[in-house]
Amino acid sequence: MSKAILNHHSLGLVCAGLLLSGAVQAAEPASCQTVHFTDPGWTDISSTNALASEVLKGLGYQAEISTLAVPIGFEALKNAEIDVFLGNWMPAQQKFIDQYVGSGQVEEVRTNLTGAKFTLAVPSYVYDAGVHDFADLAKFADKFDEKIYGIEPGAPANQNLQKMIDSGDFNLKEWTLVESGEQGVISQVKRQVRRNNFIVFLGWEPHPMNTTFDMKYLSGGDDYFGPDYGGATIHTLARKGYREQCGNVGKLLANLQFSLTMENTMMGYIMNDGMEASAAARKYLQANPDVIKPWLEGVTTYQGADGITAVKGYLGL
């Protein structure tokens, strides 16, 4: 027998021995190899979904992302059609948490972002004209054309704004909530800013709007968006039992934590530079490899190999 054949034969015996001993084996059931995410169509969640997906790909998993409005996404989590939601904005989505997490149908994994803001905002020239608070809006009703620009229909934030209008709070009873997607409201703000017109819109951070526009958040909306200008935390949710079933992915989810700088950068790649979310995530991770280590603490590949080595190899680091 030739030396090459002997070496090949020996390698085969070693691999067989490892398989028999269980040292090389899938860490999870086959059903865990594809991870299903929901995305409400918000670029911040597209960014975090993409970052998580690129890491998962490096670990030998697949990621599928479904664009679903928030209420539908929660139902999909309840029905086990979706595994993970990285975009639970709190307290704006409190009623969904009460309904689904409170009843044990969906599980909260962790807080993945702190320091977020989520409330009404205006361009700085509108703020300088005297609109500092929700209570100031009615004084300039004609200039605003009695319109507030929200986000996509069905979003809890829009429901809060409609409740505010319907109740007559801040003398806004005759005002109209204009519902549109993220890109729609940003386009409208750009258009009005170019003309130096008044506009009030739902603003939030992380988002490139905070650097694209010279803008200010309004005080006075605590009853609808919470204190500190709608100060928010973002949470990771999973379908019931998912972390027990898919323990390795569950460990990754427990480790995933983002920052405002990270998400603003990612969103800028997507919204300003026109990059696909997956390409933006790859670019960010290649430029900031240090974020990978804490995410992969105790996480292996799907086949049980070292996670950090695999993801660095996948990213070409």
In this predicted model, what pLDDT tens digit does every residue of 12-54 receive, in sequence order? 443 433 333 333 344 589 999 999 999 999 899 999 999 999 9
**Do 245 and 226 share a structural domain?**
no
CATH code: domain of residue 183? 3.40.190.100
Q: Which of 205, 230, 255 is the last residue of a domain?
A: 230
Is the same domain home to 223 and 202?
Answer: yes
Kindly state whether residues 240 and 93 are assigned to the same domain.
Answer: yes
Asked whether residue 120 is assigned to any structural domain, the reply reads yes
Condensed to tens digits (0 to 9), the pLDDT of residues 250-281 reads: 999 999 999 998 998 999 999 889 999 999 99
What pLDDT score was predicted for residue 210?
A: 87
> What percentage of the chain exceeds 70 in pLDDT?
91
Q: Looking at the domain assignment, is residue 160 inside a domain?
A: yes
Query: Are 216 and 150 found together in one domain?
Result: yes
Mean pLDDT of 149-168: 93
Domain membership flag for residue 11: no
Whether residues 85 and 218 fall in one domain:
no
Residue with tokens 């205006």: 122
Q: Is residue 8 part of a domain?
A: no
Q: Please indicate, yes or no, whether residues 163 and 177 belong to a single structural domain of this protein.
A: yes
Query: Which residues form the domain of 120?
Result: 116-230
> Of 179, 195, 230, which residue is a domain's last?
230
Confidence (pLDDT) at 27: 58
In angstroms, the CA 267 to CA 277 distance is 8
Task: Return phi, psi of residue 181, to 5°.
Answer: -75, 175
Mean pLDDT of the chain, nearest integer: 91
Within-domain flag for 15: no
Residue 53 lies in a domain: yes
* Residue entry with tokens 């323990």: 247
d(CA 264, CA 270): 10
Q: Are 150 and 256 members of one domain?
A: no
pLDDT level of residue 6 (50, 70, 90 thresholds): very low
List, for residues 93-107, the tens digit of each pLDDT value.
999 999 999 999 999
268-272 LR contacts (CB < 8 Å, sep 24+) = 268/208, 268/211, 270/43, 270/46, 270/47, 271/43, 271/186, 271/208, 272/208, 272/212
The count of domains in the chain is: 2
Question: Where does a domain end: 214, 230, 246?
Answer: 230
134 in the same domain as 120 = yes
In-domain check, residue 3: no
